[in-house]
Structure 1
Amino acid sequence: MPVKGCRLCGSTELASVVDLGATPPCELFLTREQLDEPEPTYPLHLRVCTSCWLAQIPPLIRPEDTFTEYAYFSSYSTSWVEHARRFTDDALDRLAPDFVVEVASNDGYLLQHVVARGVRCLGVEPSENVGRAAREKGVPTLTAFLDPQTGAAIRAEHGPAGLVVANNVYAHIPDIVGFTKGLRALVADDGWVSIEVQHLLTLMELNQYDTIYHEHFQYYTVASAMRALESGGLALADVELLPTHGGSIRLWARPAEAVSGHSRRVADVLDMEKSAGLRELGGYARFGERVARVRRDLLRFLIDAADEGKTVVGYGAPGKGNTLLNHCGIRPDLLPYTVDRNPYKHGRFTPGTRIPVLPPERIAADRPDYVLVLPWNLRAELTEQLAYVREWGGRLVFPIPSLEVAP
């Protein structure tokens, strides 16, 4: 599918930021039977619109192709569940909503805390398998993609929501305008919408290029997010900078008619983005060079370790890890396996690179010299989980933002 124009403003002036070649969908882990079958790949080329400054990749894969059966279960990250609990407690105490809707609610990782507080809620989750897991936890969950019609139907049946939560989904929707109108349909006229999404500023400053994959259709600054919200009848009231996923923004939006202006924090982040050059092409020019450095350093480390007879295995099988593995061309000769806490992935193979995914217990059994941590955004959590690696002199390796072999 050729690039036709910006999906937000329609401009045809799109400039290249970084071209990562072609990769398969990052969460389509292969079964053993699929190893001898063809595997489709799609170009992974990030561009930025020089009109509205939305960074984006072409919509080559439909959300329906990825999210109907999904390999990612949020609850396997202990720190992410705790992050959701803190957010829930604060939002319920401060806003006192009588009805909460979460879009892309996954396995109930967040709404389980709303249920525990006795507040009426509903999850809207397109993936049948993870939605089933949420219902098993007692979280009411509708299997659906959000669009204006779905939002209106939920409102008609359940009433407007005082709080609508959309964590790590605003980047996953190619139809930004339709999705935003769906959010507006859900929220009460005096309600709040909370959106968490990775911040393009930290993605670029910290070389987090592995978070570019086909599930993420766009990458937001606060400036481009404001324009996206406006397209669906919402306005940004406040913003928070979060450490999650390597650096995220939490956008607090309301129906446009309920907002008279934005907070000082919004103005401060807009100034930060402007100072970083993210509203001019020059700010994007050197990103590709930094990406190339990450690739060279990681490959050099793995090759040197192999030449020295050292063993390196992976920890985690996140979507971002598959961007990194495919871009670097890492195969089982350099990384014989990775492990993951999610049993859904056990016995499967990483897309493109065909690296086996095993249970975490395999690391203690094999006692490797190095463990390459692919979900580097969970560094604090995983450093604690993997502390036992030091017992035999093993070391953890973090590839992003630059190669680091922990002492």
Structure 2
Amino acid sequence: MDVTPAPARCRFCDAPLEHVFADLGMSPVANDNVPLSQANAMEPFFPLCALVCAQCFLVQLAPFETPKPLFREDYAYFSSYSTSWLEHCRRYTEQMIELLGLDASSQVIEVASNDGYLLQYFVEQDIPVLGIEPTANTAQVAIDKGIPTRIKFWGEATARAVASDTPADLLLGNNVLAHVPDINDFVEGMRIALKANGTITMEFPHLLKLIALNQWDTIYHEHFSYLSFATATRIFEAHGLRLFDVEELPTHGGSLRIYACHSDDPRQRSDAADELLERERAAGLEDVKTYLDFGARVVQDKRQILEFLIDLKREGVSIAAYGAAAKGNTLLNYCGVARDFLDFTCDANPHKQQHLLPGTHIPILAPTAIRDSRPDVVLLMPWNIKDELMQELSYIREWGGRFAARSPELRLFS
């Protein structure tokens, strides 16, 4: 009798998933920081394996079971703790107001609005907004700022409730499309809530950059999907929506901002959209071999990271980290880097301080710990904001301290 389990199915097109993109072993949930009181408790680990669909080329996590939801009421990620991200959002607001002619008669809806980090800028311009945010603690921060917010997950059901009284002129989502397990329900919800002539913008890390720059540490359990522009186009078209423009952004190591409308909207597709589709094809994103080759590069990178850190420790160098970012936890757990390499990490978010990193149990302290302990090297875990952090922490040069960050290989910066 054949006892081979059936392959997982693609979360978009339902084709069987038979090809591994990157297998990062067993890992804890990346944003599940451990309270000090639970330091000696058993900690769950789950498979962290990304697969690629040979039919639609959606890269996605293999299905796994978890005893509790990934996005909980006490979610620790607050968007407002990065000044460069806030500036990015302020500029986006100005751009959308001008591009779409938004005013007091318009309606802006943000999916996964977090702590109001972006909608606050529309509120300042007296433009009506509504945030949709499933995590109660971050949503409450937005509500306390005076930003109307519903504590809900986005999908068809929520969209129908929204569309009945506040359909969107602008419907946006930043770094959320990759986070949803049911991408079809999510995109169908956007179609339902969008006005006939409305505009959708979504930002997400670009799969082309992930592959080109070896950004495997952006894979973690809360990221269910990893998207190219071509695959996003297929998904939106399946739900009566059309991608008509795209911008390439530097955020999160290289992201896309896609622009979508209803399929019968007269707006023409831009040259930028056509050019990006062609560039993705030329880079091999429509060829399974491109995805299979990536896994071997991940293993090579792990070895380089370990050699780099081992060499520093052999020289007697003290190393602290900065950031309790999800990408950092993927790297540390996959590479097996714990307190034998890093004394502690720091994070500006007080909700993360006085906890331990998941899996490695490296202590998370306030940023003042760096000045107090004067480490020889500060490892910048959120390498996507490396320049911002190097400026913030420039005082480590007072004692000859140096920085380390992935760029894309892990290396030292003076």
Instruction: Select which of 73, 77, 81 maps to 1:72.
Output: 77
- Aligned to 1:65, the other structure's residue is in SS state coil
Matched, 1:311 2:318: yes
Q: Partners in 2 of 1:64 and 1:180 — Cα distance?
A: 24
Instruction: Select which of 138, 144, 151 maps to 1:136.
Output: 144
Which amino acid in structure 2 is aligned with residue 322 of structure 1? N
Task: State the Cα deviation string for residues 303-353 of structure 1 (Å, max 9, x = none).
Answer: 222222210000001011100000010111111110000000111001111
Partner of 1:110: 118
Q: Partners in 2 of 1:148 and 1:243 — Cα distance?
A: 31
Matched, 1:282 2:289: yes
CA contact (8 A) 1:372 1:398 kept: yes
TM-score with structure 1 setting the length: 0.97
Residue 365 of structure 1 deviates from its aligned partner by 0.9
TM-score with structure 2 setting the length: 0.95
Matched, 1:12 2:7: no
Partner of 2:197: 190
Distance 1:3 1:57, change over 3 A: farther
- Aligned to 2:337, the other structure's residue is in SS state coil
CA contact (8 A) 2:116 2:142 kept: yes
- Aligned to 2:24, the other structure's residue is in SS state strand
Residue 38 of structure 1 deviates from its aligned partner by 1.4
Which amino acid in structure 2 is aligned with residue 349 of structure 1? L
Matched, 1:300 2:307: yes
Instruction: Select which of 345, 348, 351 maps to 2:355.
Output: 348
Q: Partners in 1 of 2:283 and 2:32 — Cα distance?
A: 35
Q: Which runs of 5+ in 2 are unaligned?
A: none
Matched, 1:334 2:341: yes
Instruction: Select which of 94, 100, 103 maps to 2:99.
Output: 94
CA contact (8 A) 1:63 1:173 kept: no
Instruction: Select which of 26, 38, 45 maps to 1:22.
Output: 26
CA contact (8 A) 2:20 2:295 kept: no
Counterparts of 1:260-279 in structure 2, within 5 Å, are 261-279=268-286
Partner of 2:229: 222
Residue 290 of structure 1 deviates from its aligned partner by 2.1
Report the number of matched residues: 406
CA contact (8 A) 1:298 1:399 kept: no
Residue 252 of structure 1 deviates from its aligned partner by 0.1
Matched, 1:48 2:68: no
Residue 289 of structure 1 deviates from its aligned partner by 2.5
Which amino acid in structure 2 is aligned with residue 384 of structure 1? Q
Task: State the Cα deviation string for residues 261-319 of structure 1 (Å, max 9, x = none).
Answer: 42111111111111111110221233123222322122122222222221000000101
Matched, 1:209 2:216: yes
Q: Partners in 2 of 1:181 and 1:43 — Cα distance?
A: 29
CA contact (8 A) 2:142 2:149 kept: yes
Q: Partners in 1 of 2:172 and 2:16 — Cα distance?
A: 32
Task: State the Cα deviation string for residues 30-57 of structure 1 (Å, max 9, x = none).
Answer: 0112122111111111111110111111
Task: State the Cα deviation string for residues 104-152 of structure 1 (Å, max 9, x = none).
Answer: 0011110000100000001000000101111112211110001111111
The farther-off stretch of 228-237 and 160-169 is 228-237
Distance 1:3 1:63, change over 3 A: farther
Q: Which runs of 5+ in 1 are unaligned?
A: none
Residue 389 of structure 1 deviates from its aligned partner by 1.1
- Aligned to 1:396, the other structure's residue is in SS state strand
